[in-house]
Amino acid sequence: MAEFIQALRVAPLLQYALLTGLLASVACGVVGTYVVARRITYVAGGIAHCVLGGMGAAVYLRDVQGVTWLSPLHGATAAALLAAGIIGIVSLRFRQREDTIISAVWATGMAVGVIFIARTPGYQQDVMSYLFGNILMVSGEDLWLIAALDLVVVVVAAAFYRPFLALCFDEEFARTRGVRVEAFYLLLLVLTALTVVLLVTVVGIVLVIALLTLPVAAAGQFARRLWVMMLLATLLSMLLTSAGLAVSYAPDLPTGAVTIVLAAAAYGLAISAKGITRRMRRQRTRKAAVV
């Protein structure tokens, strides 16, 4: 740990990585709570895997076609938004089964990514960092884009907290109150897409769903209200991404994977703590009844 703190003082890449984790945690806590409450984790998974298509296309266009200003993060953002749009519009307008559309988007996105990467000389090795994340690859430029995405996500999610809560809790009732349910569902998918892009930089495509849901699920064990769940999930997520970076630094372990293992442990602890408090409360009630 001392080694990590020392390195953090002098290495800008490590500072960027820490900041990226903290920024992504805010979107993760806020939007992840909506995703878990609305039960659209599988949608987030589909969007996340489709992102490989965008990243692959971006590196191909940059390195083979000479579009020098493009970065993988630009491609990821475009692909995530496209995937969210396709899943939302096809399921709402064309009345198709959502799980089928998600599977199609999921697999097609990955296939497109693999094809583009295969046609880009020298980039095959980077597939691993896209899939499992490499937070130390975040540049100063990327950090600005991440901060901008974070700001958009959090402002929109907070401004429309009330209709989003109604949409997640009781969609039919929301409709009777004049909430434009379809529009807000699409907006939620867009927010999910942007959050996925943020998290891909931290833990990679494959592990996104875990970071989007595990801190929220752990927070959900103790929260009675949705905004409390968001707050707890954000704080926990910040702790986990920072701890992931710190723990993985000295032994040179993959940061994304370590973060997810820590998140799973935190979820397990939260469930156990909830179980213990429930049992203690029951025993107290039983004792009071006897007295």
Partner 1 sequence: MDHAVDISGLSFSYDGLSNVLHDVDLQVTSDETVAVVGPNGGGKTTLLKLLLGLLTPDRGSVRVLGRRPAQVRPQIGYVPQYVQFDPHFPVTAWDVVIMGRLGRTRGIGWYSRADRRATRDALDRVGLDSAGSRPFAALSGGQRQRVLIARALVTQPTLLLLDEPTANLDVGVEKEFEDLLAGIETQMAVMIVSHDIGFVASRISKVVCVNREVAVHPTQQLSPQILEAMYGQEVSLVHHHVHLDDEASAREGAADG
Query: Least distance (Å) from partner 1 to the CB of residue 162?
Result: 6
Query: Least distance (Å) from partner 1 to the CB of residue 95?
Result: 13
Query: Least distance (Å) from partner 1 to the CB of residue 258?
Result: 28
Complex with partner 1: residue 27 or 229, whichever CB lies closer: 229
Complex with partner 1: residue 144 or 222, whichever CB lies closer: 222
- Rounded to whole angstroms, the Cα distance separating 156 from 280 reads 40
Query: Least distance (Å) from partner 1 to the CB of residue 233?
Result: 11
Q: Please tell me what DSSP assigns to residue 119.
A: T
213 and 32 Cβ atoms separated by less than 8 Å: yes
Query: Least distance (Å) from partner 1 to the CB of residue 175?
Result: 6
Q: Please tell me what DSSP assigns to residue 39.
A: T
Complex with partner 1: residue 84 or 229, whichever CB lies closer: 229
Binding residues (CB under 8 A) for partner 1: these are 37, 39, 159-163, 165-166, 168-170, 172-179, 220, 223-226, 228-229
Ordered DSSP codes for 194-251: HHHHHHHHHH-TTTHHHHHHHHHHHHHTT-SSHHHHHHHHHHHHHHHHHHHHHHHHTT
Complex with partner 1: residue 79 or 229, whichever CB lies closer: 229
Q: Which of 141, 145, 157, 131 is nearest to 27 (CA)?
A: 157
Complex with partner 1: residue 132 or 160, whichever CB lies closer: 160
- Kindly provide the b/e burial profile for residues 12-29, where b requires at least 16 CB atoms within 10 angstroms of the residue's own CB: eebebbbebbbbbbbbbb
- Rounded to whole angstroms, the Cα distance separating 175 from 187 reads 16
Residue whose pair of structure tokens reads 């807000």 in the numeric block: 184
Complex with partner 1: residue 53 or 220, whichever CB lies closer: 220
Query: Least distance (Å) from partner 1 to the CB of residue 24?
Result: 23
Query: Least distance (Å) from partner 1 to the CB of residue 227?
Result: 9
Complex with partner 1: residue 152 or 175, whichever CB lies closer: 175
Residue 110 CA, chain-centre distance (Å), reads 18
Amino acid at 170: D
